[in-house]
Structure 1
Amino acid sequence: MQILTILKSKKITPEQLFMLSVLAVNGGNYLYNLILGRILGPAQFADAAVLITFLLVLSFAAMTFQLVTAKFSVLFENEVFKSFISKIYKNALLVGLLMGGLIVVFASQLQSLFNTSSSNMFVVFGCGVPLYFLMSVNRGVFQGKKAFKSLSITYQGEMLSRLIITLGLILIFDIRSSVVIAVGIFASFIFGLIPFKFPTLIPKQALHLNKTHAKDIRSFFIITAFYELTQIIINNSDILLVKHYFESYEAGLYASLALIGRIVYFIAWMFVMLLLPTVVQLKKDGKETASILFKYVGYIAAISITIILVCLSFPETIITLLFGNSYIAMAPLLWKYAIATSMFAISNIFAYYYLSLDKYIPVVISGVFGMLQMGLVMFYHDSLEQVVHMQIIAMLLLLTIQLAFFKYEQIKSKSTYLR
């Protein structure tokens, strides 16, 4: 009761409530992965890591629809907004059905490619993909309208249901199969839809968008889809390539390293969720936006430095506490992986900032260095340490170029103003 009284007296804003919710969701997702790592062991956890990576890939693909929905939920109003929402829901469902169908059809090939113990896990996962795309559009509406309470509920529902259902099946029925992981993920998509306003899916009367609006949506969708593809490559290609090139035991070790090292990226994501609608609204109102960028970059830089120092100072303690002694071989690489992830997280803030302003060069830059990272890992993978070093090189170059582009834009803006 005392805590509730303090919270009320402090008058926590919806944005702060959402940030706390995102931290709780990330903590729950971490707990989910950590428990799986301890229960399954390195070899079996490698299979689970493939499904978790597929979930991350799916989240980035669906994020295209969420960001497009969020941006135009700010810009469109009344009947135009209703028409837009009707169209985006239908397109999201179509893409979800297509992607999910492909995963189901090629389940056996995916099993062979990633050396997993079962193809059924891909079948179950593929069946849930359409639901995830609908969920992402739903979240995009909440994000754009800054309905952070509803947005928080969808994330909490997805995380809690996945955690409870998956671990419940494993512990109660003692089934340690990758199919159980897939069932838990599928179920979480259903709970993640709550709250969902079904009438908005098929409105009684949908107006046609005019050519200007349709062109704006199409352009932003294409460039956002391209950027989310680069996110998929940078964030997940290393785990999938390691699973392909290395034995299951080593792949499981690397999966634990990636999970711990990426904590800074998942924390950074909550700032991205707040950044996009804020920057779009400020631009719409004719106000300056750079101060918002500086604010969030400062937050991420401070968090990154703290995490890197902790990983450098107590690597074995962290590995042992989170995953157990079976994963201790990854301790020397922990701080190095955190450096690579931190540079990517900061670069990501710059890219989403310019994406919000309809400036797409940073998106292309991210695409180039995403491909560079994947290429470096494909050519240089003699050891897990070498894989991490290749990522540091690619991300250092990416951050340097993003900072140079920002400086160039600032100089250009000042010279334009002086004229």
Structure 2
Amino acid sequence: MKALWVVPLCFLCLLFTLGRAADSHLWRRPGGFGLGVVGSNAFPPSPPTLVNLTLVPSAAAKGAVCLDGTVPGYHHHPGFGSGADNWLVDLEGGGWCNDVGSCLFAIKGHRGSSNYMDKIYFDGILSEKPERNPDFYNWNRVQIRYCDGASFAGEGHDAENKLYFRGQRIWSAVMEDLMSKGMRSAKQALLTGCSAGGLASILHCDEFRALFPQSTKVKCLSDAGFFLDVVDITGGHAVRWLFDGVVTLQGAAQNLPKSCTSRRDATSCFFPQNIVANITTPFFILNAAYDTWQIQQALAPIRVDPKETWKACKFNRTACDSNQMQILQAFRNTMLNALQGFAALDKNGHFIDSCFTHGQIYDPNKWYSDNSPTIRNKRIATSVGDWYFDRSQVKTIDCAYPCDNTCHHDV
């Protein structure tokens, strides 16, 4: 089994990966950090499907390579029956690298090199079991592995440190490969992503739409990707500092939406709140109002809280005092306010629950089960399906914590 870098920090998007159930990965060194995905706390009673890795050798000639120069890869579970001509393409999450040190750390694992990638389990929105994934179970389901550290948006090369910032090229090369393998004939398509992959689905949604003829139904979804440009507990901007490093180091500015960069600085255009209202393709935002990654890394990261006054609260919601809870409720309000322009558009949908979590589409217990989180008695998977298939409009916001007793809290 390939080596893994494991640093327990916070729960992120759930991903059932061979050999890394309960893998929490933090790209970190003094002065730089990035966040990775974690696995499930335990596999569900019947194991999900194990899907082989497909590498894209032709990507090398296009310079479409991971941080270390290895070729990118993806996992594809073929569609069947009535879903054989439909495609769900998921962009894996896993944080970002914002300086040379954190990128050099990333190439020692699957976040920066396909040498460390292996088979993965598909579950939740990627499951082929109708009892776990009622609307998309028989579609072609693909997950594109994440190894560029910039939400598939970088363009550059650090020759001295032998680092390749080629996220945009990876996106293009993998799309080209999938189109050649049948996706060009899709009747319906859905682009999804979680965490850094959710941000990537926001950045690439209209590009995805442009791949298909107008007769193809195309929509996009972001899970736990609505990262806010918020003030941290010291009055600073911890996430802006992180994103500025990513955009600057990796040359992402040229690949960010022109509708934003024509009016704002490039770093601002890495924040979804400045992008989503201008996406022309129908889009769905799934996010926890108390996003644990953002609480831990945007509001109160250790670099701005050296005395760890927020440590207990960050990792146990019941340990938050009244002042801390007031800040968390203000964070929720900031998220809801940032969604207003997006939410006003009829084509879009959203599901904002009041859970302390980060990532809900891969975990069957959150996505679709008897005890999944609900708002107005409707589960996440049902809500997404209703929106995608135009069964009903879905613009759902939960009441404030602690009112929802259906949540699967991570902390």
Bigger proportion of residues as helix: 1
TM-score by length of 1: 0.24
The structure with more radius of gyration: 1
Return the structure number with greater relative CO, CA threshold 8 A, min gap 6: 1
Bigger proportion of residues as strand: 2
